[in-house]
């Protein structure tokens, strides 16, 4: 469930950047690096969490196609998990998942997920 | 060699712009500023300036164009008045928030309604909190001189804040005066070249302007922005000194007139301050210790300097050419009073709203203001703090 170790390192650097004060922000709020949106933890907006069940997944990639935040992690043409750092929990992946009788992606409450750690 | 010639305030401003040779000028015509853009567009059409001139469909678009061009890295100028400035309102904050050193000539005019094309400062005062530096000029010469200085002030790396060069509509914009112009080479050398900090056209160093900044950074951004405008006063003074070394005409944040030993003083912005100087001379000839103080750099307000100059005066009148509806005091007066309060100076102050919508303010009117503060200085009651100067009452007998 958790962000992997390499991601954790990257994001802890990002979170230390979030402490920039007014003297160190680029003038006028200009962003001087390309692709910095990746560092923005939109995952903390989430109230519903998608849970991916590897045993049921057929790798049809519909979730990957529909995800508006590129948060379905794919390696070698196969789904390997969900990027919780960026996933906002919109639920479109679960809604579009065609696997029956039980979907390969199901939604749970974040509060519930928090209890599981 | 400098040239002396007869010019209106608007033509003097256009001549300054011709010498500055901005990369981009985007504007929309509005009385009483129209001559600036009309004359400048003629310079462009005649091939006398290399500027990209963008005639826009509104002032909102004109300021938007200025912002885009300035973000691209251009040196940018515009001019407007009254409703035009009001229409730019939301874009003004974007120009200052992005720290784009745009220079704008503002020929001050009243705001509708009712519609009126003549001078007062309600347009400038409406934009006083928009993050722009505002310099109010007293005459045609100063309007020309300040345009050249404004470029240096706006582009200073400690400041990087847009500047409005304000001068009274018609009184200065349309009246002709003897104006001394620098040589083109001299002006170009004074203004210097501009190296933008984050030009969008520098494709080797791509940047994003205008990202969404929420509660996690907006607060810090505004704190950073105020540091820019508050860094302006020493820059305005230094640029004014350097301009004096080139032209013989020195400028500061304020202009005191026979004030040191004065017992009473009038504080004003713009051309009315010149009228005050005439009245001060007349009173001095009559043996009255009168002086005046013109605030030139209104934003950022030279708080300490104003308090220092008014310290020890027996009575002060502040003249506001704009209403601040409901505040029971004009914008200049409330800042003067706050300056005195912060400095711990208890100086009796009265406030006059004068000259709205181009109402002529003569030496006779100003004399009545001095008569009042002379009375206070001699032990009379301070009386009503805030009132309209030479306003007709409702009973047909001139009773206020």
Per-residue pLDDT band for A117 (boundaries 50, 70, 90) equals very low
How would you class A76 by CB atoms within 10 Å of its CB: exposed for 0-12, middle for 13-18, buried for 19 or more?
exposed
Among the partner residues B99, B205, B216, nearest to A28 by beta-carbon distance:
B99
Inform me whether the pLDDT recorded for A2 exceeds 80: no
A contacts of B93 (beta carbons < 8 Å)? none
Among the partner residues B98, B220, B223, nearest to A28 by beta-carbon distance:
B98
| Residue B64, helix vs strand vs coil | helix
Is the domain B254-388 a CATH 3.30.930.10 member?
no
Question: Kind of pairing, strands B52-55 and B24-27?
Answer: parallel
**Residue B398 confidence (pLDDT):** 52
pTM score, two decimals? 0.90
- List the domain boundaries for chain B: 3-247, 254-388
B interface residues, A as partner, C-beta within 8 Å? 97-100, 160, 197-198, 205-211, 213, 216-217, 220-221, 223-225, 227
SS3 content of chain A, % helix, strand, coil (to 5): 35, 15, 50
**Residue A12 confidence (pLDDT):** 47
Per-residue pLDDT band for A17 (boundaries 50, 70, 90) equals low
Inform me whether the pLDDT recorded for A16 exceeds 60: no
Beta-ladder partners of B320: B353
**Residue A33 confidence (pLDDT):** 84
A contacts of B217 (beta carbons < 8 Å)? 20, 25, 29
Inform me whether the pLDDT recorded for A14 exceeds 60: no
Helix (H) or strand (E) holding A14: helix A5-17
Per-residue pLDDT band for A113 (boundaries 50, 70, 90) equals confident
Among the partner residues A22, A25, A32, nearest to B207 by beta-carbon distance:
A32
Euclidean distance between CA atoms B392 and A64, whole angstroms: 75
CB B245 within 8 A of CB A46: no
**Residue A116 confidence (pLDDT):** 53
CB B299 within 8 A of CB B267: no
Contact B99 A27 (CB under 8 A): yes
A-chain residue closest to B215, CA distance: A18
Which has the higher per-residue pLDDT, A19 or B221? Answer: B221
Q: Read out DSSP for B260-315?
A: TT-SEEEEE-TTHHHHHHHHHHHHHHTT--EEEEEESEEES--HHHHHHHHTT-SE
A-chain residue closest to B157, CA distance: A27
ipTM metric: 0.84
Euclidean distance between CA atoms A29 and A48, whole angstroms: 32
* Residue B283 backbone dihedrals phi, psi, to 5 degrees: -70, -40
Contact A25 B207 (CB under 8 A): no
Nearest to B164 by CA among B22, B357, B302, B297: B297
Is the domain B3-247 a CATH 3.40.50.300 member?
no
Which domains are present in chain A? 5-116 (3.30.70)
Contact A22 B224 (CB under 8 A): yes
Among the partner residues B198, B223, B227, nearest to A30 by beta-carbon distance:
B198
Structure tokens at B195: 């190296």
**Residue A6 confidence (pLDDT):** 55
End-to-end CA distance of chain A: 9
Given this chain, do its domains B3-247 and B254-388 carry the same CATH topology? Answer: yes
Contact A32 B227 (CB under 8 A): no
Contact B224 A31 (CB under 8 A): no
Helix (H) or strand (E) holding A10: helix A5-17
Residue entry with tokens 């100076």: B345
Residue A105 backbone class (left: φ over 0; alpha: ψ -120 to 50; beta: rest): beta
Per-residue pLDDT band for A38 (boundaries 50, 70, 90) equals confident
**Residue A40 confidence (pLDDT):** 83
Per-residue pLDDT band for A11 (boundaries 50, 70, 90) equals very low
Helix (H) or strand (E) holding A64: helix A62-66
* Per-residue pLDDT of chain B in tens (400 residues, 90 and over written 9): 799 999 999 999 999 999 999 999 999 999 999 999 999 999 999 999 999 999 999 999 999 999 999 999 999 999 999 999 999 999 999 999 999 999 999 999 999 999 999 999 999 999 999 999 999 999 999 999 999 999 999 999 999 999 999 999 999 999 999 999 999 999 999 999 999 999 999 999 999 999 989 888 999 999 999 999 999 999 999 999 999 999 999 999 999 999 999 999 999 999 999 999 999 999 999 999 999 999 999 999 999 999 999 999 999 999 999 999 999 999 999 999 999 999 999 999 999 999 999 999 999 999 999 999 999 999 999 999 999 999 998 766 555 4
Euclidean distance between CA atoms B108 and B167, whole angstroms: 6
Structure tokens at B384: 């009503």
Helix (H) or strand (E) holding B377: helix B363-377
**Residue A1 confidence (pLDDT):** 35
């Amino acid at each position: 469930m958790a962000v992997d170790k390499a991601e954790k390192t990257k994001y802890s650097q990002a979170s230390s950047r979030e402490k920039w004060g007014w003297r160190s922000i680029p003038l006028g709020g200009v962003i001087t690096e390309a692709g910095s949106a990746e560092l923005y933890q939109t995952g903390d907006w989430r109230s519903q969490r998608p849970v991916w069940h590897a045993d049921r997944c057929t790798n049809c990639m519909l979730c990957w196609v529909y995800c508006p935040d590129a948060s379905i992690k794919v390696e070698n043409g196969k789904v390997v998990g969900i990027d919780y750092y960026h996933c906002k929990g919109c639920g479109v992946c679960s809604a579009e998942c065609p696997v029956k009788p039980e979907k390969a992606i199901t939604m749970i409450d974040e509060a519930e997920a928090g209890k599981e750690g | 060699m400098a040239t002396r010639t007869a010019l209106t305030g608007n033509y003097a401003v256009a001549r300054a712009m011709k010498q500055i040779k901005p990369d981009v000028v985007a504007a929309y015509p509005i009385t009483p500023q129209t001559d600036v853009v009309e004359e400048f567009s003629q310079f462009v059409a005649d091939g006398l300036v290399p500027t990209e001139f963008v005639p826009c469909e509104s002032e909102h678009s004109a300021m938007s164009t200025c912002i885009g061009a300035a973000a691209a890295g251009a040196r940018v100028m515009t001019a407007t008045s009254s409703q035009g400035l009001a229409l730019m309102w939301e874009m003004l904050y974007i120009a200052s928030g992005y720290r784009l050193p745009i220079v704008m000539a503002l020929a001050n005019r009243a705001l509708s309604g009712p519609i009126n094309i003549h001078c007062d400062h309600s347009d400038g005062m409406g934009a006083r909190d928009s993050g722009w530096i505002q310099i109010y000029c007293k005459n045609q010469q100063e309007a020309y001189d300040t345009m050249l200085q404004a470029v240096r002030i706006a582009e200073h790396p400690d400041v990087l804040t847009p500047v409005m060069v304000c001068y009274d509509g018609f009184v200065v914009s349309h009246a002709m005066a003897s104006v001394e112009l620098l040589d083109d080479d001299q002006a170009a050398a004074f203004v210097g070249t501009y190296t933008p900090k984050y030009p969008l056209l520098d494709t080797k160093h791509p940047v994003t302007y205008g990202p969404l900044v929420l509660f996690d950074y907006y607060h810090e951004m505004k704190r950073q922005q105020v540091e820019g405008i508050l860094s302006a006063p020493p820059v305005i003074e230094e640029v004014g000194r350097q301009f004096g070394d080139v032209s013989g005409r020195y400028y500061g944040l304020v202009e005191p007139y026979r004030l040191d030993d004065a017992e009473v003083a009038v504080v004003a912005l713009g051309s009315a301050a010149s009228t005050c100087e005439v009245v001060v001379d007349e009173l001095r000839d009559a043996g009255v210790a009168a002086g005046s103080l013109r605030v030139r750099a209104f934003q950022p307000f030279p708080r300490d300097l104003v308090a220092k100059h008014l310290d020890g005066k027996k009575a002060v009148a502040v003249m506001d050419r704009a209403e601040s509806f409901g505040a029971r005091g004009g914008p200049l007066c409330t800042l003067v009073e706050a300056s005195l309060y912060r400095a711990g100076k208890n100086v009796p102050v009265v406030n006059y709203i004068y000259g709205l919508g181009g109402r002529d303010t003569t030496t006779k009117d100003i004399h009545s203001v001095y008569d009042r503060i002379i009375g206070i200085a001699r032990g009379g009651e301070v009386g009503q703090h805030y009132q309209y100067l030479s306003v007709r009452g409702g009973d047909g007998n001139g009773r206020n």
